[in-house]
Chain A
Amino acid sequence: MMRRTILITAVMFPGLHAGAAEPGFAVDVRPILSDACYNCHGPDAAARKAKLRLDDRVSAMRSGILADGQLLERLTSDDPEVRMPPPDSNRVLKPGDRAKLVAWVKGGAQWPEDDRHWAFVPPAAPDHPPVRKGKWPVNGIDRFVLAKLEQEGLQPSVHADKATLLRRVTLDLTGLAPTTGELDAFLGDDSPGAYERAVDRLLASPRYGEHMALDWMEASRYADTDGYQNDRLRYMWVWRDWLVRALNDNMPFDRFVTEQMAGDLLPDRNFFTQVATGFNRNHRINSEGGSIPDEWIVEYVADRVETMGTMFLGLTLGCARCHDHKYDPVGQKDFYRMFAFFNNVDEAGLGPNNGNSPPFIKVPKSWPELSEEESKYVVPEPMKIRTVQTSVPRPQAGSPDTVMVMHEKERPRDTYLLVRGQYDQPDKSEKLKPAIPPVLGQWQQKWPRNRLGLAKWLMHPRHPLTSRVTINRIWQHYFGTGLVKTSENFGLQGQMPSHPGLLDWLALEFIRTGWDVKKMHRLIVTSATYRQASNGSAALQRRDPENRLLARGPRKRLSPYAIRDTALFTSGLLVEKIGGPSVKPYMPPGIWSSISNARYKQDKGEKLYRRSMYTYWRRTLPPPTMMTFNAAAREICIVRNDKTITPLQALTMMNNITFVEAARFLAERVLKVDGLSKAERIERAFRMVISRRPDRVEMKQLLEDLEFYRQDFSKRPGQAAQLLAVGEKKADANLLPVELASFTMVANTILNLDEAMTQD
């Protein structure tokens, strides 16, 4: 049985295994061909040079150049006229890659008959590979990881200590650090299953849905404004409420996707499934006077196709909007056939200039607790276009108590291929019907040719991509990097999975469990792989800086949202209230008015301290605190953010009003406990933020600092008063200002430690 497994994976992923001497076509050769050659010798017929295709087996074989020495000469010649790729192509073939191609050609240019790209072949059940260290694995994940480590001659790391682990999993599942009470309870519980119980507690917390919603919101380009020019207002928070609830209710993922793609077309449709379709209305909408409506409808529809491509297919479908895809077998016609699925919405090209753009539905005041009557499906009022300013055609505007939804036109718009993607250049020789790219599977006759059918196709158990792409993003959530690093691109130019068997096994588990999302989260966080310590040796760090082999646990910086939320939470300022309209916390003066015609009106009171997922998102001027920490701008679908470290981040953490106020309240919190020594107060604050106690050196440092600040502020009490006045929430008058100010500086120090922004 085990032997068979090895054979199967070896065929599917030759070359991924140690000791594979000969270059395997799919893994070693085609990625190089794709990167270096397909721009001129790939799927795009219009760009093809010398009528040569190197993406198509039959065509390549027929050309003869693989065997007759021509390709070899093109690869090895020193003559710039002959050598490929030519200098003016701006394609670089690295020496190692060139050598691989040469070896492949010399070895007879083996090109297997079934040469389908791995991601276009539905996952096949891999058996667990054999491992020697049989006791280490906790669940299926670990066997794949361990097998790879053993191949590489590596050992897994030891388990992370309990406090680190609880911090890691609490931040990963809820976006907040564990409380000291939760830490104490967990550290004191040595009974079997203590960790699993903690995980279950976190999965059941409503914070889970709020935290997990963020990845989806960034990918779905959720925002509170339209995103172009004057960036007018819209009201979509009801969709965000739907999202949080669906996640907290653990709605099966197939239903979750189907409601968002086609909640208006379901046989059992209702108000909630209708709200879910707001997913496809989250794209930007242009309201600029003078815009040509037809041009912008094309933009919206294309955005839906591209978003679906990135989120469910892991494909850069947008490349095929203007020409055949340069690398993947997706033609320009395929793009417009997908386009046809989304081209039937009763929508306007120009936005209404503030307010929701049709189709929208009215949200009952009782949202989200609707009566039976209110829960029924509603027919949106038809679009009414009125001409303003001489000739600007605008639709009616949806008021703040509406939400945008999908709604089909009675007669679908005709779809044609648009030459160079231009709205005014339809190729009218052929009307295109909704269809999927043939390379991605077969359409079943029983499926309706609309978004509902599309959802059925996406969620079909034999679909090659949806499950893999989704589980990969879930993996990325925990490990910082997906099993496929390019989580937005599973195509030919994407990276190969680090653990192909694991990816497929997880993808099939996901389907087998009935698309049970929480179960998959649980599977990952209870694995031994996840529970490893993250402080690998220097040698391991050098060997595997990105931790692709998973010989250590994940160490990563918190998300921008979690950084702010955790500061508010540990200081006791966080106001936990689920859902509702977005809020406007602190912003620098003139943040909007300095460069636009809008004015930011900051909220007061508890709205200053809500979780960051509720912060008002103006697309053209997104919240700087979030953007400084690399949040997605929410203009287009983004599923992977970079995590560069910049000086602006340091300035934010040190000086931003939110973090200074949080430091003050963290200080207040530990000062208000009776009968503690200074060291004990510092230890408390430290532990609340970092989930561990400071060591001796750290404590000595912070105590000395405290004394320094105390003396300094004693000499200048006015400065202490100034510091305590930062932020709208008043300081406790019973505390001595100098003492509170000096503790505030120590708290500010703690919040600025690398560990405060990191989960180890």
Chain B
Amino acid sequence: MNPANEFLTRQTRRAFLGKSTMGLGSVALGTLLNAGGKDLTGAGLSPGLPHFAPRAKRVIYLFQSGGPSQMDLYDYKPHLAAKFGEEVPESIYPAERKTTMTSGQKSFPLAPSTFKFARHGKSGTLLSDAMPHLAGMIDEVCVIKSMYTEAINHDPGAMLFQTGSVIPGRPSMGSWVSYGLGSENADLPAFVALTSNGTGKGGQPLYDRLWGSGFLPGRFQGVKFRGQGNPILDLYNPAGVSRAQRRRMLDAVGKINGAQAGRFNDPAIATRIAQYELAFRMQMSVPDLIDFSNEPRSVLDLYGPEATKVGKYAYNCLLARRLAERGVRFIQLYHRGWDAHGNAPKQVAAQCRDTDQPTAALLRDLKQRGMLDDTLVIWGGEFGRTVYCQGKLTKQSYGRDHHPNCFTYWMAGGGVRGGMSYGKTDDYSVNVVENPVHVHDLQATILNQLGIAHERLTYRYQGRYFRLTDVHGRVVHDLLA
């Protein structure tokens, strides 16, 4: 169904839900709704949402943790080759913008990229040769070369992208979306987080708060799928306990709790009964979700040799598609290992080996299923990297420190304009010179594609109306189809 039609259907569904009660054990659905069981109904129930017809139904955000190097991947600076080893001009890169990892260096030599660049697709978008697979899908992609942030360290940098604030306690983007739009699937959470480790060294840690619900109610937090043991914490019955036994146990719990609900008139009991049933449905549905045996060889090949290795980026990309198919609203991937302080050419190449093929495969797979139109895919990390060398500079090797002033993101599908590049940086890839896009602008644009006016999705906490974009952000309409 196209998103505009879905918008209408949902309005009707909401009207329907308002009047009817459905059998759910002995518990009236109305009670559940009052008790905050909104994620059971499958409908987005925050009042007035979506604010307008959405272009995207769901988001897959491929977060590249550590800060990928823009000038080794997208931001081509050919003239720097001739300036190898020259000091970066102080006028371009003032001292106070450097982190204390490198601010003590005596010298800041320019490190031109060792990667080769070429134009790809009908759009002629420039890409480095580290990403041959993405090159094949580049006409779907809208490259933003003019992203910028304030954060120069990983933790605040990632927090800003994920929650709109470096201060902990704020909900992540996925939580906001799940709070606003609810779930499309009664058996799975609306917001899922997936993590993988890169082969590039220097993996930055991730934190639960990146997918936390902050001050929003806990049911909106991202549910992390795990790479080992239970795919979701404590999902499976303990060893020795069969499904039939679990069903038996749940029936008893439901019956006794149901009688208790009658004695106490406390809607929390009805909610608990319902959540136990949802837990059971999760137990039933997740094994099917992660069973890739029905994927044709051609699809597995598309994602590459690691497609079936649990916990790898390729596996997570395929899982993301399967989650998307099942109506999960916000799928947040993280791939660690982009923090190339040392041998950047080697590390960037290794990271691209992990990610390039699966990323492109995800786009192609979504497209061939007709899902790319209403799935917004986002690629990018917490900041970019310096044009000057950290540590020792040779012809083959250089390190790059954190760089907040400019870096590259891209989006695809979900109503953004494919095959375009947006924004410009200066000749050194140090500052944005045209069409800057701030973190909050990106967030406003993402919400916009989901039919959410970022200024109107608010939650009152500590006497204030909070929103993802704090008091900032504007939708970047130039990026939209």
User: In whole angstroms, how far apart are the Cα atoms of A90 and B473 in the complex?
Assistant: 14
Given A231-B205, A596-B205, answer yes or no on A387-B217 (Cβ-Cβ < 8 Å): no
Given A229-B205, A292-B100, A712-B245, answer yes or no on A646-B275 (Cβ-Cβ < 8 Å): yes
Are B256 and A698 within 8 A (Cβ)?
A: yes
The reply on A286 being an interface residue by CB < 8 A is yes
Are A752 and B100 within 8 A (Cβ)?
A: no
Contacts of B239 in A (CB 8 A): 719, 722-723, 725-726
User: In whole angstroms, how far apart are the Cα atoms of A627 and B169 in the complex?
Assistant: 13
Are A489 and B462 within 8 A (Cβ)?
A: yes
User: In whole angstroms, how far apart are the Cα atoms of A733 and B280 in the complex?
Assistant: 32
Are A648 and B272 within 8 A (Cβ)?
A: no
Contacts of A491 in B (CB 8 A): 463
- Give B96 Cβ to nearest chain A Cβ, in Å: 8
The reply on B226 being an interface residue by CB < 8 A is yes
Query: Of the 9-residue stretches A111-119, A563-571, A650-658, which lies at the interface with chain B?
Result: A650-658
B 235-271 to A, binary, CB cutoff 8 A, 1 in contact else 0: 1111111101110110011011101110111111101
Scoring B223, B238, B244, B279 by chain A CB atoms within 10 A of each residue's CB, the highest score goes to: B238
The reply on A753 being an interface residue by CB < 8 A is yes
Given A557-B268, A620-B209, A647-B275, answer yes or no on A290-B153 (Cβ-Cβ < 8 Å): yes
- Give A274 Cβ to nearest chain B Cβ, in Å: 28
Among A684-721, those with CB < 8 Å from B are 697-698, 701-702, 705, 708-709, 712, 716, 718-721
Contacts of A536 in B (CB 8 A): 265
The reply on A610 being an interface residue by CB < 8 A is no
User: In whole angstroms, how far apart are the Cα atoms of A493 and B463 in the complex?
Assistant: 5
User: In whole angstroms, how far apart are the Cα atoms of A589 and B259 in the complex?
Assistant: 38
User: In whole angstroms, how far apart are the Cα atoms of A709 and B237 in the complex?
Assistant: 15
Contacts of B212 in A (CB 8 A): 633
B 190-221 to A, binary, CB cutoff 8 A, 1 in contact else 0: 00000101000001111111001000011100
Are A749 and B253 within 8 A (Cβ)?
A: yes
Query: Of the 9-residue stretches A388-396, A518-526, A601-609, which lies at the interface with chain B?
Result: A388-396
Are B249 and A535 within 8 A (Cβ)?
A: no
Contacts of B43 in A (CB 8 A): none
Among B65-112, those with CB < 8 Å from A are 96, 99-105
Are B233 and A648 within 8 A (Cβ)?
A: yes
The reply on A65 being an interface residue by CB < 8 A is no
Are B279 and A588 within 8 A (Cβ)?
A: no
The reply on A316 being an interface residue by CB < 8 A is yes
Q: Contact partner of B226 among A492, A590, A636, A726, CB < 8 A?
A: A590
User: In whole angstroms, how far apart are the Cα atoms of A660 and B103 in the complex?
Assistant: 54
User: In whole angstroms, how far apart are the Cα atoms of A724 and B206 in the complex?
Assistant: 35
Are A701 and B256 within 8 A (Cβ)?
A: yes
Interface size of A by CB at 8 A reads 103
The reply on A326 being an interface residue by CB < 8 A is yes
Are B169 and A635 within 8 A (Cβ)?
A: yes
- Give A606 Cβ to nearest chain B Cβ, in Å: 22
Given A289-B100, A651-B235, A712-B245, answer yes or no on A701-B252 (Cβ-Cβ < 8 Å): yes
Are A595 and B206 within 8 A (Cβ)?
A: yes
Contacts of B53 in A (CB 8 A): none
Q: Contact partner of B463 among A327, A350, A595, A760, CB < 8 A?
A: A327
Given A289-B100, A316-B462, answer yes or no on A228-B155 (Cβ-Cβ < 8 Å): yes
The reply on A734 being an interface residue by CB < 8 A is no
Contacts of B458 in A (CB 8 A): 90
The reply on A630 being an interface residue by CB < 8 A is yes
The reply on B423 being an interface residue by CB < 8 A is no
Contacts of A103 in B (CB 8 A): none
Are A644 and B245 within 8 A (Cβ)?
A: no
Are B253 and A387 within 8 A (Cβ)?
A: no
The reply on B287 being an interface residue by CB < 8 A is no
Are B229 and A590 within 8 A (Cβ)?
A: yes
Given A541-B266, A621-B207, answer yes or no on A752-B253 (Cβ-Cβ < 8 Å): yes
A 218-239 to B, binary, CB cutoff 8 A, 1 in contact else 0: 0000000000111100000000
User: In whole angstroms, how far apart are the Cα atoms of A293 and B271 in the complex?
Assistant: 48
User: In whole angstroms, how far apart are the Cα atoms of A722 and B154 in the complex?
Assistant: 44
The reply on A615 being an interface residue by CB < 8 A is no
Contacts of A753 in B (CB 8 A): 253, 256-257, 260
The reply on B276 being an interface residue by CB < 8 A is yes
Contacts of B184 in A (CB 8 A): none
The reply on B278 being an interface residue by CB < 8 A is yes
Are B311 and A290 within 8 A (Cβ)?
A: no
Are A745 and B241 within 8 A (Cβ)?
A: yes
B 308-320 to A, binary, CB cutoff 8 A, 1 in contact else 0: 0001000000000
Are A657 and B154 within 8 A (Cβ)?
A: no
User: In whole angstroms, how far apart are the Cα atoms of A281 and B23 in the complex?
Assistant: 53
The reply on B305 being an interface residue by CB < 8 A is no
User: In whole angstroms, how far apart are the Cα atoms of A31 and B187 in the complex?
Assistant: 41
The reply on B234 being an interface residue by CB < 8 A is yes
User: In whole angstroms, how far apart are the Cα atoms of A534 and B266 in the complex?
Assistant: 10
- Give B251 Cβ to nearest chain A Cβ, in Å: 9
Which of chain A's residues has its CB closest to B401's CB? A290
Contacts of B298 in A (CB 8 A): none
The reply on B167 being an interface residue by CB < 8 A is yes
Contacts of A651 in B (CB 8 A): 232-235, 279, 282-283
Are A644 and B203 within 8 A (Cβ)?
A: no
User: In whole angstroms, how far apart are the Cα atoms of A633 and B260 in the complex?
Assistant: 32
Contacts of B119 in A (CB 8 A): none
The reply on A429 being an interface residue by CB < 8 A is no
Q: Contact partner of A754 among B227, B237, B257, CB < 8 A?
A: B257
Are A590 and B228 within 8 A (Cβ)?
A: yes
The reply on A488 being an interface residue by CB < 8 A is yes
Are A654 and B463 within 8 A (Cβ)?
A: no
The 5 closest A-B pairs by CB, nearest first: A391-B104, A493-B463, A723-B240, A722-B240, A290-B99
14 contacts between A and B (CB under 8 A): A228-B155, A230-B205, A286-B153, A290-B402, A319-B464, A392-B101, A486-B463, A538-B265, A590-B228, A645-B219, A650-B276, A650-B278, A655-B236, A755-B260
Given contact pairs A633-B168, A741-B240, a sample of 7 additional A-B residue pairs in the complex whose CB atoms are under 8 Å apart: A289-B100, A493-B463, A545-B267, A655-B230, A660-B238, A705-B248, A724-B240
